[in-house]
């Protein structure tokens, strides 16, 4: 049977096999960056081809920055061969394959049944056609990738796809807006080299998909030292240790990152970090801006410094929370009228956005306007000084409870500080870190808002590997 022609009763829509960019009988005419074998829904090929200038060249880092080599224990990994800055492109490649990351809704729900076996066989047939269309070297490269799905009914080519694929659905949805929603429509891409990048729950890099060049791109999230291993996240790194461990099990390894090495401490830190996020929210910041709050310039920088320490202690650079922290830093420097620091902070927001193609665009645009334009493009520019000279009336949009809470916590702190010895102050700080009852209810509301924001960010930027 030819799966390309075979209409399937189990698949609601027919898939199409194609090469992008197109290939020719005369190999000299083929795209110098190679091509991707694709298993696509109807309309997707046309939408990708309709992008202006498609395909543009696959970008290169400013100078070679990586090598693939053995890691301690077993297997291969990617290492930096020079110092890399946050936001830098480390490596890019045209994927070997782009296709569905799941075959039907029943895949995860009906294991070990005849129907499941049949679906796996059908999926494998499509994969076989796609892999056979690759040139011999790429076929060998595909077949040499690791397969962690040896005992769950997946046949070999599907097993490799499920082990190594990066989910690229969110980005493709921008090109193909009418792509149906749901897990069955998830799309995954496999990179020959990028499949060798290992997981860490504290990843220093992120893989994004660029549809104009049809390439997977590895971008640094923080400065990476020469010789350091480059890592990405295979699972939700904000989940607690036991959940991460369970989600990573199908990949066939146990994570030995610093957070997994000390899970009790790590989970506690992550919980307190969730509580610290309230600092990043608009209400707290707006209250600080207003002279009526009586809060010092250092108040906000102190709060943000605590958040930064926690994020770095857990290595959570690949989370929307880190982006929120960077944006709040930017807004704080703007409010303080510190131009140089503001521009640096705005640049860091752009670096994060560069690694996460499509990260909430309006929030990023402001940073670009500051870096490439004028600090006054930030609405908070110098408002602390302006407000001190000419205090605005209390903004009615500020809730009275918020103002009261801020006054109260400031007064309480001043009163108790007067009574305490320095050692006791220190202890008090630790308790607050561990999340006392104050503000829990507010935190729940914040969490709901945060989840919306996160969901938006997640949908826009997801390029995490799929199992």
| Binders in 423-452 for Zn ion, by CB under 5 A | none
| Closest approach of Zn ion to the CB of residue 254, in Å | 9
Look at residue 461 and give its three-state secondary structure: helix
Helix locations, 206-281, DSSP H: 241-248, 258-261, 263-276
Please identify, using beta-carbon distances, which residue of 187 and 257 lies nearer to Zn ion.
257
Q: What is the largest CA-CA distance in the chain?
A: 85
Q: Rule CB under 5 A: is residue 187 a binding residue for Zn ion?
A: no
Q: Rule CB under 5 A: is residue 184 a binding residue for Zn ion?
A: no
Please identify, using beta-carbon distances, which residue of 257 and 342 lies nearer to Zn ion.
257
Contact 161, 113 (CB under 8 A): no
- Which residue of 98, 255, 280, 332 would you call a contact of Zn ion, by CB under 5 A? 255
- Which residue of 260, 363, 453, 467 would you call a contact of Zn ion, by CB under 5 A? 260
- # binding residues, Zn ion (CB under 5 A): 4
Closest CA to 161 of 134, 130, 118, 133: 130
Please identify, using beta-carbon distances, which residue of 198 and 215 lies nearer to Zn ion.
198
Please identify, using beta-carbon distances, which residue of 56 and 467 lies nearer to Zn ion.
467
The pair of three-digit structure tokens given for residue 360, joined into one six-digit string: 């909430």
Please identify, using beta-carbon distances, which residue of 171 and 257 lies nearer to Zn ion.
257
- Stretch touching Zn ion by CB under 5 A, among 196-204, 222-230, 360-368, 376-384: 196-204
Please identify, using beta-carbon distances, which residue of 251 and 380 lies nearer to Zn ion.
251
- Stretch touching Zn ion by CB under 5 A, among 199-207, 329-337, 347-355, 424-432: 199-207
| Closest approach of Zn ion to the CB of residue 434, in Å | 22
- Stretch touching Zn ion by CB under 5 A, among 153-161, 208-216, 224-232, 256-264: 256-264
- Stretch touching Zn ion by CB under 5 A, among 205-213, 259-267, 435-443, 448-456: 259-267
256-291 in b/e form (b: 16+ CB < 10 A) is ebebbeeeeebbebbebbbbbbbbbbebbbbbbbbe
| Closest approach of Zn ion to the CB of residue 242, in Å | 12
Long-range contacts of 248-257 (CB under 8 A, 24+ apart): 248/199, 250/148, 250/149, 250/152, 250/162, 250/163, 250/467, 251/148, 251/163, 251/199, 251/467, 252/146, 252/148, 253/75, 253/199, 255/199, 255/200, 255/201, 257/200, 257/201, 257/202, 257/231, 257/315
Q: Kindly list the distances between the CA atom of residue 235 and the CA atoms of 67, 199, 248, 335, in Å, as whole numbers in the listed order.
A: 24, 9, 7, 37
| Binders in 201-220 for Zn ion, by CB under 5 A | 201
Please identify, using beta-carbon distances, which residue of 202 and 330 lies nearer to Zn ion.
202
Please identify, using beta-carbon distances, which residue of 253 and 387 lies nearer to Zn ion.
253
Q: Rule CB under 5 A: is residue 257 a binding residue for Zn ion?
A: yes
Which residues would be at the binding site for Zn ion (CB under 5 A)? 201, 255, 257, 260
């Amino acid at each position: 049977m030819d799966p390309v022609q075979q209409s399937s009763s189990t698949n609601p829509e027919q898939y199409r096999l194609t090469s992008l960019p197109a290939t020719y009988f005369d190999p000299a005419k083929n795209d110098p960056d190679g091509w991707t074998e694709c298993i696509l829904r109807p309309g997707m090929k046309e939408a990708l081809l309709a992008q202006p200038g498609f395909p543009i060249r696959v970008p290169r880092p400013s100078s070679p920055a990586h090598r693939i080599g053995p890691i301690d224990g077993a297997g291969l990994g990617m290492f930096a061969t020079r110092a890399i800055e946050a936001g830098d492109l480390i490596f890019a490649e045209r994927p070997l394959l782009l296709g569905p990351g799941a075959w039907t809704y029943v895949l995860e729900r009906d294991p070990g049944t005849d129907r499941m076996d049949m679906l796996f066989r059908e999926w494998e047939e499509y994969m076989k056609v796609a892999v056979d269309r690759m040139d011999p070297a790429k076929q060998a490269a595909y077949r040499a990738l690791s397969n962690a799905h040896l005992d769950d009914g997946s046949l070999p080519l599907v097993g490799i796809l499920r082990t190594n694929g990066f989910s690229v659905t969110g980005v493709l949805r921008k090109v193909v807006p009418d792509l149906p929603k749901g897990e069955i429509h998830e799309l995954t891409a496999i990179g020959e080299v990028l499949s060798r990048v290992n997981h860490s729950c504290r990843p220093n890099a992120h893989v994004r998909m660029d549809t104009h060049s049809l390439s997977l791109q590895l971008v640094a999230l923080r400065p990476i030292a020469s010789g350091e291993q480059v890592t990405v996240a295979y699972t939700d790194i904000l989940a607690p240790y036991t959940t991460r461990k369970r989600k990573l099990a199908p990949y066939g390894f146990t994570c030995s990152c610093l957070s997994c090495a000390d899970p009790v401490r790590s989970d506690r830190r992550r919980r307190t970090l969730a509580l610290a996020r309230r600092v990043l929210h608009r209400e707290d910041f707006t209250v600080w801006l207003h002279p009526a709050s009586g809060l010092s310039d250092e108040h906000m920088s102190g709060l943000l410094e605590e958040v930064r320490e926690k994020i770095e202690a857990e290595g959570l650079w690949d989370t929307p929370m880190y982006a929120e922290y960077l944006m709040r830093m930017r807004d704080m420097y703007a409010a303080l009228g510190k131009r140089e620091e503001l521009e640096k902070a705005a640049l860091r927001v752009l670096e994060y956005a560069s690694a996460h193609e499509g990260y909430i665009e309006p929030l990023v645009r402001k940073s670009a306007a500051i870096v490439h334009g004028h600090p006054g493009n930030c609405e908070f520019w110098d408002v602390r000084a302006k407000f001190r000279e000419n205090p605005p009336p209390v903004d009615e949009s500020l809730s009275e409870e918020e103002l009261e809470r801020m006054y109260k916590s400031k007064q309480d702190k001043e009163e108790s500080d007067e009574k305490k010895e320095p050692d006791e102050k220190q202890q008090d700080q630790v308790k607050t870190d561990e999340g006392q009852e104050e503000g829990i209810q507010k935190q729940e509301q914040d969490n709901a808002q945060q989840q919306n924001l996160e969901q938006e960010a997640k949908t826009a930027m997801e390029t995490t590997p799929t199992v």
